[in-house]
């Protein structure tokens, strides 16, 4: 399988390789099954708005949507579910449906519909990764799409009201998290010691909820109380994504670089200040003047020259 | 399955009478409760429950499978009824609009169709072809069949809400006349699911001598 597999998806932040749930699912599955994926952080945004992200590109195919991508990888012999029994496979399907029906509406609401969260975190993050002028339009469209989905699947026709469903969807999501926690128990992954498709899906949905810093955090608080689910996310991040955060994956590299840059700038500023202070002190009359190289000036002129140079 | 006495009544404006806009709903004394989830809760509060004997992990599994059925089977049924042109034209419009006089039957049918299509688009089923939908149904039935195995009910000896839900959907799929039999064929491929439906029908519906379920599973 020498064909290079390229995955286009949204980038990462807050310690995650990607902030987008579906992209994370595919990345996690690829790590679990050993598929060599080259991750391409996109800002090609029309595709993103139509919900086609993540997209897998090979030489002959373009595959979108996580379920289809996972099927494709399985056909290419990258199968993380090899050791599962038929019944565990059936359980996988059922739990994925549970995630999509109960947890996804609340996750969508937390990211895209809740005003505080959307305007302070989600919108700036996505807008900064989308080129102008699409950055003005696209986050709004994604937000409306999320709201639509919540209302149409949970709301009551013919008048759809958000307030009526908000309480219900958060209740459902908390119940779903509790159920997942019961199911995981104390084992490392959902089906024993090897991670599988279900682990990829759960990780993809939970990790952004767990790691992204939001102002309104009721669901996040609930998740943090379920320590085995938090441990599950951290384990996967540490074992499968740690080295790529420092090395290969450009998304992780970006955040590290950005942080480094800020730090370096601060340090540089500080050291500049310190240098200036140092020079000032040295040039002051109390201290003997420094010997400047290649000077034909007298010491007095030297001093005044250097003082003038240093003044802002 | 809980041995509760019920009277089934068919009304044309059932969707409007229901508090949440969805059928079925039950009318008990002066309370009205709609949809399977809340009805189960209501019955449980009155002291009848089918899933008390399950532990936490089994309850989680049961909820997960119920969501699978809702997610796949229910959506597929809606798709087939309202988004497949052949079925819509021949059967659904006529059936949905039949209690009303002209032109109300057309208007309401179109309105419902528009609503369902919107929902399909929002969850990403708008672009699916009929074959893909049938494949999804097949996958779902395979999962259910594997979970059921050779047991009489999903959680061994006692029926639970999951059994009721699965029976409801499968029975409808198997006994509703559509333009093509592909959907019911998919279900018939799994013999243990067929046996399951027959067993529940015989046990709970024929014993009472009700004439309402006159369509027999072939």
The DSSP-derived string for B128-148 is: --HHHHHHHHHHHHHHHHHHH
What per-residue confidence (pLDDT) applies to A12?
76
Residue whose entry in the numeric block shows the structure tokens 């996040």: A220
The residue among A183 and A159 whose pLDDT is bigger is A183
Max avg pLDDT among A87-96, A154-163, A282-291? A87-96
What per-residue confidence (pLDDT) applies to B80?
83
Cβ–Cβ below 8 Å for A179 and B144: no
Cβ-based contacts of B139 with chain A (< 8 Å): 93
- Tokens representing B101 are 């006089």
In sequence order, what are the beta bridge partners of A64?
A55
Question: Mapping DSSP to helix (H, G, I), strand (E, B) and coil, where does residue A65 land?
Answer: coil
What per-residue confidence (pLDDT) applies to A302?
46
> Cα distance from A67 to chain B (closest Cα, Å)?
11
Query: Rounded to whole angstroms, how far apart are CA atoms B144 and B68?
Result: 9
Chain A CA closest to residue B144: A90
- Chain A interface residues facing chain B, Cβ-Cβ under 8 Å? 51, 65, 86-87, 89-91, 93-95, 97-98, 100-102, 145, 148-149, 152-153, 156-158, 175, 179-180, 182-183, 185
Pairing state between β B31-34 and A62-64: unpaired
Element (H, E) at A205: helix A197-211
Q: Are A184 and A228 in contact (CB under 8 A)?
A: yes
Query: Rounded to whole angstroms, how far apart are CA atoms B140 and B68?
Result: 7
* Residue A235 phi, psi dihedral angles, 5° rounding: -60, -50
Report the candidate in B144, B105, B156, B54 with the shortest Cα–Cα distance to residue A89: B144
The per-residue pLDDT for range A222-264, each reduced to its tens digit, is 888 888 888 888 888 888 877 554 433 444 444 555 566 666 6
Query: Rounded to whole angstroms, how far apart are CA atoms A67 and A75?
Result: 13
Q: Is the pLDDT of residue A284 over 50?
A: yes
Collect all residues with Cβ–Cβ distance below 8 Å to A300 and sequence separation of at least 6: none
Query: Rounded to whole angstroms, how far apart are CA atoms B202 and A47?
Result: 52
What per-residue confidence (pLDDT) applies to A218?
82
How far apart, in Å, are the Cα atoms of A178 and each of A79, A172, B154?
29, 10, 22
* Residue A194 phi, psi dihedral angles, 5° rounding: -110, 135
Query: Rounded to whole angstroms, how far apart are CA atoms B216 and B218?
Result: 6
Average pLDDT over residues A197-216: 85
Cα A107 to chain centroid, rounded: 14
Q: Are B161 and A191 in contact (CB under 8 A)?
A: no
C-alpha atoms less than 13 angstroms from C-alpha of B193 in its C-beta half-sphere: 25
**If you count them, how many residues does chain B have?**
218
Report the candidate in A224, A119, A109, A213 with the shortest Cα–Cα distance to residue A165: A109
Task: Please compute Rg for chain A using Cα positions.
Answer: 26
What per-residue confidence (pLDDT) applies to A167?
81
Question: Mapping DSSP to helix (H, G, I), strand (E, B) and coil, where does residue A9 land?
Answer: strand
What per-residue confidence (pLDDT) applies to A158?
47
Report the candidate in B74, B103, B79, B102 with the shortest Cα–Cα distance to residue B92: B79
Cβ–Cβ below 8 Å for A183 and B122: no
What per-residue confidence (pLDDT) applies to B54?
77
Positions of chain B with pLDDT under 50: 209-218
Average pLDDT over residues A158-177: 77
> Cα distance from B98 to chain A (closest Cα, Å)?
21
How far apart, in Å, are the Cα atoms of A169 and each of A115, A164, A176, A193?
16, 9, 10, 32
Burial class of residue A36 (count of CB atoms within 10 Å of its CB; 0-12, 13-18, 19+): exposed
Query: Rounded to whole angstroms, how far apart are CA atoms B21 and B102?
Result: 23
What per-residue confidence (pLDDT) applies to A289?
54
What per-residue confidence (pLDDT) applies to B94?
77
What per-residue confidence (pLDDT) applies to B187?
81
Instruction: Tally A–B CB contacts below 8 A.
Output: 76
In sequence order, what are the beta bridge partners of A40?
A8
Query: Best of B56, B57, B67, B162 to disrupt the A interface by mutation (most A CBs within 10 Å)?
Result: B67
Cβ-based contacts of A173 with chain B (< 8 Å): none
Per DSSP, A189 falls in state B
The residue among B216 and A11 whose pLDDT is bigger is A11
What per-residue confidence (pLDDT) applies to A236?
85
E strands, A163-223, in order: none
Report the candidate in A258, A264, A215, A265 with the shortest Cα–Cα distance to residue A13: A258
Pairing state between β A62-64 and A55-57: antiparallel
Cβ–Cβ below 8 Å for A90 and B71: no
Element (H, E) at A151: helix A134-154
Lowest mean pLDDT among A15-19, A122-126, A254-258: A254-258
Query: Rounded to whole angstroms, how far apart are CA atoms A235 and A246?
Result: 17
The residue among B208 and A34 whose pLDDT is bigger is A34
Does residue A165 have a cis peptide bond before it, meaning omega lies within 30 degrees of 0? Answer: no
Cβ-based contacts of B21 with chain A (< 8 Å): 156-158
Q: Are B100 and B148 in contact (CB under 8 A)?
A: no
Mean pLDDT of chain A: 74
Query: Rounded to whole angstroms, how far apart are CA atoms B13 and B31?
Result: 18
**Which among B21, B65, B123 has the least Cβ separation from residue A94?**
B65
What per-residue confidence (pLDDT) applies to A226?
86
Q: Are A98 and B67 in contact (CB under 8 A)?
A: yes
> Cα distance from A48 to chain B (closest Cα, Å)?
14
Report the candidate in B60, B66, B147 with the shortest Cα–Cα distance to residue A181: B60
The number of beta carbons lying within 10 Å of the beta carbon of residue A163 is: 6
The residue among A241 and A301 whose pLDDT is bigger is A241
Query: Rounded to whole angstroms, how far apart are CA atoms A236 and A210?
Result: 13
C-alpha atoms less than 13 angstroms from C-alpha of B203 in its C-beta half-sphere: 15
The number of beta carbons lying within 10 Å of the beta carbon of residue B19 is: 13
Cβ–Cβ below 8 Å for A97 and B68: yes
- Whole-structure pTM value: 0.74
């Amino acid at each position: 399988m020498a064909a290079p597999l390229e995955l286009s998806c949204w980038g990462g932040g807050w310690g995650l390789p990607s902030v987008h749930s579906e992209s994370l699912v595919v990345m996690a599955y690829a790590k679990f099954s050993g598929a060599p994926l080259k991750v391409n952080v996109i800002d090609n945004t029309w595709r993103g708005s139509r919900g086609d992200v993540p997209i897998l590109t090979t030489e002959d195919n373009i595959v979108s949507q996580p379920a289809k991508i996972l099927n494709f990888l399985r056909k290419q012999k990258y199968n993380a579910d090899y050791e599962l029994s038929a019944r565990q496979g059936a359980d996988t399907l059922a739990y994925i449906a549970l995630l999509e029906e109960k947890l996804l509406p609340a996750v969508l609401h937390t990211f895209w519909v809740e005003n505080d969260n959307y305007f302070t975190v989600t919108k700036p993050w996505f807008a900064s990764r989308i080129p102008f002028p699409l950055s003005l339009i696209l986050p709004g469209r994604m937000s409306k799409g999320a709201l639509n989905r919540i209302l149409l699947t949970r709301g009551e026709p013919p008048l759809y009201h958000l307030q009526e469903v908000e309480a219900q969807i958060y209740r459902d999501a908390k119940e779903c998290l509790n159920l997942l926690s019961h199911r995981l128990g104390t084992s490392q992954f959902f089906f024993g010691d090897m991670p599988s498709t279900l682990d990829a899906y759960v990780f993809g949905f939970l990790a952004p909820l767990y790691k992204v810093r939001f102002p309104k955090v009721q669901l996040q608080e609930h998740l943090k109380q379920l320590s085995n689910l938090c441990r599950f996310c951290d384990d996967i991040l540490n074992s499968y994504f740690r080295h790529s955060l420092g090395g290969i994956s450009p998304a992780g590299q970006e955040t590290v670089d950005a942080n480094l840059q800020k730090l370096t700038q601060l340090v540089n500023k500080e050291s500049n200040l310190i240098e200036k202070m140092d020079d000032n002190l040295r040039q002051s009359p109390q201290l003997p003047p420094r010997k400047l190289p290649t000077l034909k000036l007298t010491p007095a002129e030297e001093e005044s020259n250097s003082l003038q140079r240093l003044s802002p | 399955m809980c041995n509760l006495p019920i009277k089934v009544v068919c009304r044309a404006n059932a969707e409007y009478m229901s508090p949440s806009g969805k059928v079925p709903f039950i009318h008990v004394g002066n309370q009205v409760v709609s949809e399977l989830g809340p009805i189960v809760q209501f019955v449980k509060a009155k002291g009848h429950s089918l899933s008390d004997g399950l532990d936490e992990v089994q309850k989680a599994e049961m909820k997960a499978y119920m969501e699978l059925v809702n997610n796949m089977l229910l959506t597929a049924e809606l798709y087939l009824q309202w988004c497949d042109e052949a079925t819509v034209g021949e059967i659904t419009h006529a059936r949905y609009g039949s209690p009303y006089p002209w032109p109300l039957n057309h208007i309401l049918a179109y309105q419902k169709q528009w609503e369902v299509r919107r929902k399909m688009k929002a969850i990403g089923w708008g672009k699916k072809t009929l074959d893909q939908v049938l494949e999804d149904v097949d996958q779902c039935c395979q999962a259910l069949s594997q979970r059921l195995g050779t047991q009489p009910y999903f959680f061994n000896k006692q029926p639970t809400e999951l059994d009721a839900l699965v029976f409801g959907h499968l029975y409808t799929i198997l006994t509703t006349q559509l333009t093509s039999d592909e959907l019911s064929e998919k279900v018939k491929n799994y013999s243990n699911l067929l046996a399951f439906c027959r067993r529940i029908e015989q046990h709970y519906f024929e014993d009472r001598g009700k004439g309402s379920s006159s369509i027999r599973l072939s």
